Structure 1
């Protein structure tokens, strides 16, 4: 999985605290997602972030499948 949360916030000059205030999501949760430490993110959390940023889920989180050798496929 490729998490684009930090890139998107950086491009838009949006702070984690702004997302926290607007969505009501825990600052700790947002920090875990931002620093790519979150392993299991709840779907409702992702939906709130996407709604706030006005982006589709596929822009926030990308899935890159593994090939038969167990390596991530690239475009």
Structure 2
């Protein structure tokens, strides 16, 4: 499974320069955003966290994360 995380790209486009700014914008704690920010274990990030980030950044979930099933990349 491959998940592409576009958080930092979206933040750059919206001129959000730090995790602290994202925390203020979303109302989420640093711990809640840590996996998403560091692009680690994205499969375990809570859906509520993702939805709050999407709402704060005014993006769709599919804009924030892109999922590509195993094997699809090798068939292209």
TM-score (norm 2): 0.77
Deviations 1:20-64 (CA, angstroms, capped at 9, x unpaired)? 113221113323211202441111100000000000000001001
Q: Conserved in 2, the CA contact under 8 Å of 1:6 and 1:35?
A: no
Matched length: 71
Question: Which has the higher relative contact order, 1 or 2, with Cα contacts under 8 A spaced 6 or more apart?
Answer: 2
Larger proportion of strand: 2
The gaps in structure 1 that reach 5 residues or longer are none
Runs of 4+ aligned residues of structure 1 deviating over 2 Å after TM superposition are none
The gaps in structure 2 that reach 5 residues or longer are none
Instruction: Tell me the C-alpha RMSD between the 2 structures.
Output: 1.9
Larger proportion of helix: 2
TM-score (norm 1): 0.78
